[in-house]
Amino acid sequence: MIEIILLLFGEAVMVFGALGILRFPDVYTRLHAATKCDTGGAMSIILALILIMDAPAVVRAKFLVLAFLIAMINPMVSHAIARGAYRYGVKPKVVVDMYAWDNP
Amino acid sequence: MAQEGLLVSAFYVLVFTAMLIAYRVVRGQTLPDRIVGLNTITTKVVVIIAVVSVMREEYYLIDLAIVLLMVNAVGGLILAKYMERRALHD
Protein backbone atom coordinates (compact mmCIF):
# COMPACT_ATOMS: atom_id res chain seq x y z
CA MET A 1 0.00 0.00 0.00
CA ILE A 2 2.75 2.44 0.95
CA GLU A 3 4.62 1.79 -2.31
CA ILE A 4 1.57 2.74 -4.40
CA ILE A 5 1.25 6.02 -2.47
CA LEU A 6 4.97 6.72 -2.97
CA LEU A 7 4.75 5.98 -6.71
CA LEU A 8 1.71 8.23 -7.25
CA PHE A 9 3.35 11.01 -5.19
CA GLY A 10 6.48 10.78 -7.34
CA GLU A 11 4.47 10.95 -10.58
CA ALA A 12 2.54 14.01 -9.34
CA VAL A 13 5.78 15.76 -8.35
CA MET A 14 7.27 15.02 -11.79
CA VAL A 15 4.20 16.47 -13.59
CA PHE A 16 4.21 19.65 -11.48
CA GLY A 17 7.95 20.09 -12.02
CA ALA A 18 7.43 19.87 -15.79
CA LEU A 19 4.62 22.46 -15.60
CA GLY A 20 6.92 24.74 -13.57
CA ILE A 21 9.67 24.46 -16.18
CA LEU A 22 7.19 25.33 -18.92
CA ARG A 23 5.45 28.25 -17.22
CA PHE A 24 7.91 30.06 -14.94
CA PRO A 25 9.31 33.36 -16.25
CA ASP A 26 13.03 33.12 -15.45
CA VAL A 27 16.02 30.78 -15.52
CA TYR A 28 16.40 30.71 -11.73
CA THR A 29 12.75 30.00 -10.97
CA ARG A 30 12.77 27.26 -13.62
CA LEU A 31 15.89 25.82 -12.00
CA HIS A 32 14.14 25.91 -8.62
CA ALA A 33 11.16 23.95 -9.95
CA ALA A 34 13.38 21.52 -11.90
CA THR A 35 15.82 20.55 -9.19
CA LYS A 36 13.50 20.35 -6.17
CA CYS A 37 10.71 18.52 -7.94
CA ASP A 38 13.04 16.26 -9.91
CA THR A 39 15.15 15.19 -6.93
CA GLY A 40 12.15 14.52 -4.70
CA GLY A 41 10.16 12.76 -7.41
CA ALA A 42 13.02 10.54 -8.58
CA MET A 43 13.93 9.48 -5.03
CA SER A 44 10.27 8.78 -4.21
CA ILE A 45 9.79 6.63 -7.34
CA ILE A 46 13.01 4.67 -6.69
CA LEU A 47 12.03 3.98 -3.05
CA ALA A 48 8.65 2.75 -4.36
CA LEU A 49 10.46 0.46 -6.84
CA ILE A 50 12.55 -0.99 -3.99
CA LEU A 51 9.36 -1.80 -2.08
CA ILE A 52 7.57 -3.23 -5.15
CA MET A 53 10.13 -5.63 -6.62
CA ASP A 54 11.06 -9.09 -5.41
CA ALA A 55 14.80 -9.44 -5.99
CA PRO A 56 17.94 -10.41 -4.04
CA ALA A 57 19.37 -7.93 -1.57
CA VAL A 58 22.27 -6.94 -3.84
CA VAL A 59 19.86 -5.47 -6.42
CA ARG A 60 18.02 -3.51 -3.72
CA ALA A 61 21.38 -2.18 -2.51
CA LYS A 62 22.08 -0.99 -6.08
CA PHE A 63 18.77 0.91 -6.15
CA LEU A 64 19.64 2.50 -2.79
CA VAL A 65 23.02 3.56 -4.23
CA LEU A 66 21.16 5.14 -7.17
CA ALA A 67 18.87 7.10 -4.81
CA PHE A 68 21.86 8.28 -2.75
CA LEU A 69 23.71 9.40 -5.91
CA ILE A 70 20.63 11.34 -7.11
CA ALA A 71 20.46 13.08 -3.72
CA MET A 72 24.15 14.02 -3.91
CA ILE A 73 24.63 14.87 -7.61
CA ASN A 74 21.44 16.71 -8.63
CA PRO A 75 21.69 19.71 -6.21
CA MET A 76 25.41 20.05 -7.00
CA VAL A 77 24.81 20.31 -10.76
CA SER A 78 21.91 22.75 -10.30
CA HIS A 79 24.07 24.97 -8.06
CA ALA A 80 26.81 24.99 -10.70
CA ILE A 81 24.29 25.83 -13.46
CA ALA A 82 22.85 28.75 -11.43
CA ARG A 83 26.34 30.15 -10.81
CA GLY A 84 27.28 29.74 -14.47
CA ALA A 85 24.05 31.41 -15.62
CA TYR A 86 24.72 34.43 -13.39
CA ARG A 87 28.29 34.71 -14.67
CA TYR A 88 27.02 34.24 -18.24
CA GLY A 89 25.02 37.46 -17.90
CA VAL A 90 21.39 36.40 -17.31
CA LYS A 91 19.96 38.77 -14.69
CA PRO A 92 17.14 37.47 -12.45
CA LYS A 93 13.72 39.16 -12.73
CA VAL A 94 13.42 39.86 -9.01
CA VAL A 95 13.29 42.95 -6.79
CA VAL A 96 16.12 41.98 -4.44
CA ASP A 97 19.35 40.51 -5.85
CA MET A 98 21.50 39.52 -2.88
CA TYR A 99 24.19 37.82 -5.00
CA ALA A 100 24.96 41.20 -6.58
CA TRP A 101 25.29 42.75 -3.09
CA ASP A 102 27.88 40.19 -2.06
CA ASN A 103 29.81 40.24 -5.37
CA PRO A 104 29.96 43.79 -6.69
CA MET B 1 -1.25 -8.21 -11.64
CA ALA B 2 -2.07 -4.65 -10.58
CA GLN B 3 1.48 -3.50 -9.96
CA GLU B 4 2.46 -4.24 -13.56
CA GLY B 5 -0.16 -1.76 -14.81
CA LEU B 6 0.99 0.75 -12.24
CA LEU B 7 4.58 0.52 -13.51
CA VAL B 8 3.42 0.92 -17.13
CA SER B 9 1.45 4.04 -16.15
CA ALA B 10 4.54 5.43 -14.38
CA PHE B 11 6.56 4.80 -17.58
CA TYR B 12 4.05 6.69 -19.73
CA VAL B 13 3.79 9.62 -17.26
CA LEU B 14 7.59 9.97 -17.23
CA VAL B 15 7.79 9.92 -21.06
CA PHE B 16 5.00 12.54 -21.23
CA THR B 17 6.78 14.93 -18.82
CA ALA B 18 10.06 14.46 -20.72
CA MET B 19 8.26 15.45 -23.94
CA LEU B 20 6.82 18.53 -22.18
CA ILE B 21 10.31 19.64 -21.17
CA ALA B 22 11.65 18.99 -24.69
CA TYR B 23 9.62 22.06 -25.73
CA ARG B 24 11.71 24.16 -23.35
CA VAL B 25 14.92 22.63 -24.74
CA VAL B 26 13.95 23.38 -28.35
CA ARG B 27 12.51 26.87 -27.80
CA GLY B 28 14.39 28.17 -24.76
CA GLN B 29 15.11 31.86 -24.93
CA THR B 30 18.65 31.62 -23.54
CA LEU B 31 21.40 29.01 -23.22
CA PRO B 32 20.88 28.27 -19.46
CA ASP B 33 17.22 27.38 -20.15
CA ARG B 34 18.29 24.65 -22.55
CA ILE B 35 20.89 23.34 -20.08
CA VAL B 36 18.29 23.13 -17.29
CA GLY B 37 15.96 21.23 -19.64
CA LEU B 38 18.67 18.78 -20.70
CA ASN B 39 19.66 18.09 -17.07
CA THR B 40 16.04 17.42 -16.09
CA ILE B 41 15.43 15.16 -19.10
CA THR B 42 18.53 13.10 -18.28
CA THR B 43 17.38 12.58 -14.69
CA LYS B 44 13.98 11.48 -16.01
CA VAL B 45 15.67 9.02 -18.39
CA VAL B 46 17.56 7.53 -15.41
CA VAL B 47 14.23 6.96 -13.61
CA ILE B 48 12.70 5.50 -16.82
CA ILE B 49 15.58 2.99 -17.07
CA ALA B 50 15.04 2.00 -13.41
CA VAL B 51 11.29 1.49 -14.01
CA VAL B 52 11.95 -0.63 -17.13
CA SER B 53 14.51 -2.66 -15.17
CA VAL B 54 11.89 -3.56 -12.55
CA MET B 55 9.12 -4.03 -15.12
CA ARG B 56 11.02 -6.50 -17.34
CA GLU B 57 12.91 -8.07 -14.37
CA GLU B 58 16.27 -7.53 -16.05
CA TYR B 59 18.29 -6.10 -13.21
CA TYR B 60 21.52 -5.47 -15.07
CA LEU B 61 19.99 -2.25 -16.47
CA ILE B 62 20.42 -0.52 -13.09
CA ASP B 63 24.20 -0.38 -13.59
CA LEU B 64 23.53 1.47 -16.85
CA ALA B 65 21.31 3.97 -14.97
CA ILE B 66 24.05 4.65 -12.38
CA VAL B 67 26.64 5.26 -15.13
CA LEU B 68 24.24 7.60 -17.00
CA LEU B 69 23.70 9.62 -13.79
CA MET B 70 27.46 10.05 -13.31
CA VAL B 71 27.90 11.13 -16.95
CA ASN B 72 25.06 13.63 -16.41
CA ALA B 73 26.94 15.12 -13.43
CA VAL B 74 30.19 15.54 -15.39
CA GLY B 75 28.36 17.01 -18.39
CA GLY B 76 26.44 19.52 -16.28
CA LEU B 77 29.58 20.72 -14.54
CA ILE B 78 31.40 21.09 -17.88
CA LEU B 79 28.49 23.09 -19.37
CA ALA B 80 28.39 25.40 -16.31
CA LYS B 81 32.14 25.95 -16.57
CA TYR B 82 31.71 26.66 -20.31
CA MET B 83 29.14 29.38 -19.54
CA GLU B 84 31.46 31.08 -17.02
CA ARG B 85 34.44 30.90 -19.37
CA ARG B 86 32.53 32.24 -22.37
CA ALA B 87 31.16 35.24 -20.42
CA LEU B 88 34.69 36.00 -19.24
CA HIS B 89 36.10 36.21 -22.78
CA ASP B 90 33.34 38.49 -24.10
> For B10-57, what is each residue's pLDDT tens digit?
889 889 999 988 988 898 788 888 888 899 999 999 999 999 988 888
- When pLDDT is cut at 50, 70 and 90, the band that residue A29 belongs to is confident
Q: Which of chain B's residues have a Cβ under 8 Å away from the Cβ of A34? A: 36-37, 39-40
Q: Per residue in A64-91, pLDDT tens?
A: 999 999 999 999 999 998 888 888 877 7
Residue A101 lies in a domain: no
Mean pLDDT of all residues in A42-65 = 88
Residue A31 lies in a domain: yes
Residue A2: its pLDDT value, please? 84
**Best of A19, A87, A91 to mutate (most B CBs within 10 Å, chain B):** A87
Query: A88: helix, coil or strand?
Result: helix
Q: What distance in Å separates the CA atoms of residue A62 and residue A40, rounded to the nearest whole number?
A: 18
The CATH number fitting domain B1-88, selected from 1.10.287, 1.20.120, 1.20.272, 1.10.1060:
1.10.287
Domain that holds residue A44: 1-92
Residue of B nearest to A50 (CA): B54
Residue A28: its pLDDT value, please? 87
Residue B90 has pLDDT above 60, yes or no: no
- Tell me how close the Cα of B52 comes to any Cα of chain A, in angstroms: 10
Residue A47 has pLDDT above 70, yes or no: yes
In contact, A25 and A93? CB cutoff 8 Å: yes
| Exposure on the CB side of residue A97, measured as CA atoms within 13 A | 10
Q: What are phi and psi of B27, to 5 degrees?
A: -115, 40
In contact, A84 and B79? CB cutoff 8 Å: yes
Residue A98 lies in a domain: no
Q: pTM (2 decimals)? A: 0.88
Contact A18 B20 (CB under 8 A): yes
Mean pLDDT of all residues in A29-53 = 88
Residue A56: its pLDDT value, please? 85
Residue B2: its pLDDT value, please? 58
- Tell me how close the Cα of B82 comes to any Cα of chain A, in angstroms: 8
Residue B48: its pLDDT value, please? 92
Mean pLDDT of all residues in A60-64 = 90
Q: Which of chain A's residues have a Cβ under 8 Å away from the Cβ of B60? A: none
Residue B3 has pLDDT above 80, yes or no: no
Number of domains in chain A: 1
Q: Which of B17, B11, B1, B64 is nearest to A49 (CA)?
A: B11
Residue A11 lies in a domain: yes
Give the nearest partner residue to A87 out of B57, B62, B83, using CB atoms: B83
